[in-house]
Amino acid sequence: MIAVIDYGAGNLQSVLKAFQYIGSSVQVTADPEVLRAADAVVLPGVGAFGDAMENLKKSGLVNTVYDLADSNKPFLGICLGLQLLFEGSEEAPGVPGLGIFRGEIRRIPAGEGLKIPHIGWNSLEIRDKTGVFQNLPENPYVYFVHSYYLKADYKKEVAATTQYGVEIDAAVRRKNLYAMQFHPEKSGKVGLQILRNFTALTKED
């Protein structure tokens, strides 16, 4: 069973429906015991970094998230869920993130012809074609909705990049931990393949 973390700030229904569509066993929950018993865990997120961190603290799930990240089970952060895994964001100066990954969440710089927030389809340059990123087309298009982007400290953890005025670290991976700035649940066939790949990780020894 895949557990989607409900901490009061996430695009839960679209994530839930996408997993259900591909036949995955999935449950939205805020129960730490259910999360710990799950085969895999998803940390979704939409909205503001500061509000999301506050909600995560109020939910009492911060330590649970740390424990899940330290376990061997597959873990997936989506959109704001990626940003929360880092140390902080320019969107909320002085508000610490979870710090599971190292890097900066920066505001996308305004440029000629660029609209902020960045909403729409962009192609990925995939650097890690294993795990959730296998069996995808070359430079696949995925769907983004964001005003802030990741610049990771450790390039070896960057699984995919995209361009929108600047190079954006669009996805990261460290062992069982995956996180992506884009929304796989809104990214058509490519996104569904990513979610199928994530589900398949729960069946590996």
Residues annotated catalytic, as ranges: 79, 183, 185
- DSSP for 135-193, written as a single string: T--SS-EEEEEESEEEEES-GGGEEEEEEESEEEEEEEEETTEEEESS-GGGSHHHHHH
Distance CA 16, CA 19 (A): 5
Which residue type sits at 157?
E
Nearest to 150 by CA among 73, 86, 54: 86
Q: What is the dihedral of CA 77, 82, 88, 90, to 10 degrees?
A: -150
Tokens 């969107």, located at residue:
91
What whole-number distance in Å separates Cα of residue 126 and Cα of residue 62? Answer: 30
Distance CA 191, CA 86 (A): 23
